[in-house]
């Protein structure tokens, strides 16, 4: 087993240059406890369920700001969904131009006036009890800057497929080893994460160097500012579907590339040896994930995507099975090209 040709991670200074500032809320602006801000892009078919999952827990306009920020959707009309479901209660704004996910997250935080911010994607949902539990945690532990927990994954038809996030043993407790864990994995999906607004102001916005792992980088930076708490049970509902932005990153293998870069950057921030046990274990895990993705893409006939993932699997931890699948993919692509 060996690895070669892996890119060096960006330095902390490089990342800082691509991290926009988050301005404090202007004086005189009402400050509710919550800002639930929902970024959307071509997901109006799911937005109705997203909004309904928030409105059933609505604390009232004085306590909860609810806003939808659309990144210039081209395939549907999220404004119509908002007008139909929550006229006068939920505000709707559209970016002046398509900004992409990371810049839209920053636009959402900028619009948030609440003391705690929940960025809930327009195709995800939140289960009952989430905001009440978070309020209780904040009241009991005022030093907490972020609350997260396990999330349920669902498919296009709302069928539960998995539960991901922190191990169950961590539920309902302070995550004292959050930074060490977050450095090499993703503990929090957007649907199940809330952050203090002033923590965003101190950490800066989502780093535009990343398109797929901007949240992994952000949660790590927030965790350096104060205590992190884990909810007692899963509340977030994270939708995995073919049109999701995540699927595009898998075909292009940018999910693997960015996971490698952000993990190496996080380990450097912690002063951890990049050739040590934790880094080596992560590299092998990421190679295995890339190989699994390549197998799925190969089975669907998406050979370019399979090769993209395999190239990373080979660079991270080359072995016989990755080499064999690379050879089969290359031959199959060559045969297909010759028949066109």
Whole-model pTM? 0.93
Q: Which residue has the tokens 């991670």?
A: 9
253/232 same-domain check: no
Q: What is the pLDDT of residues 56-88, one digit of tens each?
A: 999 999 999 999 999 999 999 999 999 999 999
Secondary structure (3-state) at 142: coil
Domain-located, residue 12: no
Q: Which residue has the tokens 């993703």?
A: 186
The CATH number assigned to the domain holding 54 equals 3.90.550.10
Rounded Cα–Cα distance for residues 66 and 43 (Å): 18
Q: Give 100-141 pLDDT, tens digit per residue.
A: 999 999 999 999 999 999 999 999 999 999 999 999 999 999
CATH number of residue 317's parent domain? 1.25.40
Is residue 82 within 8 Å of residue 45, measured between CB atoms? no
Instruction: Answer yes or no: is 3 within a domain.
Output: no
Last residue of a domain, one of 170, 203, 238: 238
Q: Are residues 208 and 282 in the same domain?
A: no
Residue 17 domain flag: no
Domain housing 204: 31-238
Q: Is 209 in the same domain as 333? A: no
Instruction: Please write the tens of the pLDDT for every residue from 242-273.
Output: 765 557 889 999 999 999 999 999 999 999 88
259 and 234 share one domain: no
Q: Which residues pair with 152 in a beta bridge?
A: 163, 237
- Which of 238, 261, 284 is the last residue before a domain boundary? 238
Which of 116, 142, 269, 119 minimizes the C-alpha distance to 199? Answer: 116
Both 124 and 77 in one domain: the answer is yes
Has residue 1 got a pLDDT over 50? no
Are 50 and 171 in the same domain?
A: yes
pLDDT in the model for residue 315? 93
- Total structural domains in the chain? 2
Whether residue 265 sits in one domain with residue 162: no
Asked if the structure places residue 199 within a domain, the reply is: yes
**Tens of pLDDT, residues 293-306:** 999 999 999 999 99
């Amino acid at each position: 087993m060996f690895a070669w040709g892996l890119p060096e991670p960006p330095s902390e200074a490089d990342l800082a240059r691509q991290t926009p500032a988050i301005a404090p809320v202007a004086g005189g602006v009402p400050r509710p406890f919550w800002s639930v801000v929902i970024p959307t892009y071509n997901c109006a078919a799911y937005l109705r369920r997203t909004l309904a999952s928030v409105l059933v827990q609505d604390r009232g306009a004085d306590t909860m700001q609810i806003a939808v920020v659309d990144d210039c959707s081209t395939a549907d009309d999220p404004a119509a969904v908002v007008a139909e479901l929550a006229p006068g209660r939920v505000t709707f704004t559209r970016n002046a131009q398509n900004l992409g996910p990371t810049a839209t997250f920053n636009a959402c935080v900028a619009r948030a006036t609440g003391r705690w911010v929940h960025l809930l994607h327009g195709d995800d949902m939140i289960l009952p009890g989430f905001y009440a539990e978070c309020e209780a945690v904040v009241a009991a532990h005022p030093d907490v800057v972020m609350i997260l927990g396990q999330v349920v994954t669902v498919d296009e038809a709302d069928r539960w497929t998995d539960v991901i996030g922190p191990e169950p043993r961590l539920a309902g407790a302070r995550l004292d080893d959050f930074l060490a864990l977050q450095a090499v994995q993703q503990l929090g999906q957007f649907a199940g994460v809330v952050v203090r607004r002033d923590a965003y102001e101190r950490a800066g916005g989502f780093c535009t160097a990343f398109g797929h792992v901007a949240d992994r980088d952000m949660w790590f930076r927030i965790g350096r500012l104060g205590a992190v708490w884990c909810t007692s049970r899963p509340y977030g509902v994270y939708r995995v579907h073919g049109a999701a932005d995540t699927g595009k990153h898998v075909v292009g293998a940018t999910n693997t590339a960015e996971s490698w870069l952000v993990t190496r950057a996080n380990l450097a921030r912690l002063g951890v040896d990049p050739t040590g046990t934790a880094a080596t274990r992560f590299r092998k895990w990421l190679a295995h994930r890339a190989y699994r993705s390549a197998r799925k893409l190969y089975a669907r006939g998406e050979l370019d995507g399979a090769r993209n993932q395999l190239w990373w699997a080979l660079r991270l931890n080359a072995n016989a099975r990755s080499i064999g699948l690379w050879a089969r993919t290359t031959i199959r692509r060559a045969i297909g090209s010759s028949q066109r």
